[in-house]
A = this chain, B = another copy of it.
């Protein structure tokens, strides 16, 4: 099913709603008002209703949302009603932190292979049990494992080369932690986790205000 012209911010908020609902579900809560959900998520209740309205009718007037039902629906919208297969490249502190990130597994993101250039790391296993391969084997191993999303945690000057290898697999999505803009083809989507940009935003606002 295609949902067209949904604002990117709506998708990001759905992700935040789903995380809040996950916690409520674990806390055995069955119903949540839009007011309460909004508070947890740091948005206003009208925003939640507006975001959900893109995808249909949710909740019961005067009652609220059924927690598990809405969680199920949002996960379906986001494509989280399946397991995703991920590969990580760059097994330094950052790569290890990303692979071990607890909410990833919960959400259905499974790292099935890992790569590095460091001969001292190749052959070792990460804490989650996956073996580190040399990055030269990236295309073969990713094809074999059916990797759909590539995660780049390398230094900036290696990131484009890794993206080129992912293109060859091909993977359709890349999560890039390296502070560089990647050139990819139209069929591949890149999301960029850029610490520096966020810090620069802080610096700007602390200076300007």
Contact = CB atoms under 8 A, between A and B. Distances in A.
Interface of A: 1-3, 8, 11-12, 14-16, 18-19, 40-42, 77-80, 84, 92-94, 96-98, 100-104, 107, 109, 148-149, 155-156, 172-175, 179, 181, 183, 189, 191-209
Closest 4 CB pairs of A and B: A79-B207, A94-B97, A93-B97, A15-B200
A27 B193 CA distance: 25
Contacts of A148: 206
Contact of A181 (B2, B8, B42, B179): B42
Contacts of A1: 208
Given A94-B97, A191-B198, A193-B195, 14 more contacts: A3-B208, A11-B200, A12-B197, A12-B200, A15-B200, A41-B181, A79-B207, A93-B93, A98-B195, A104-B196, A148-B206, A174-B202, A175-B195, A175-B198
Contact of A201 (B11, B109, B181): B11
Contacts of A203: 78-80, 84, 109, 149, 173
A149 B205 CA distance: 12
Contacts of A206: 79, 148-149, 172-173, 189
Nearest to A173: B202
B205 A173 contact: yes
A191 B194 CA distance: 11
B78 A207 contact: yes
A189 B202 contact: yes
A8 B173 contact: no
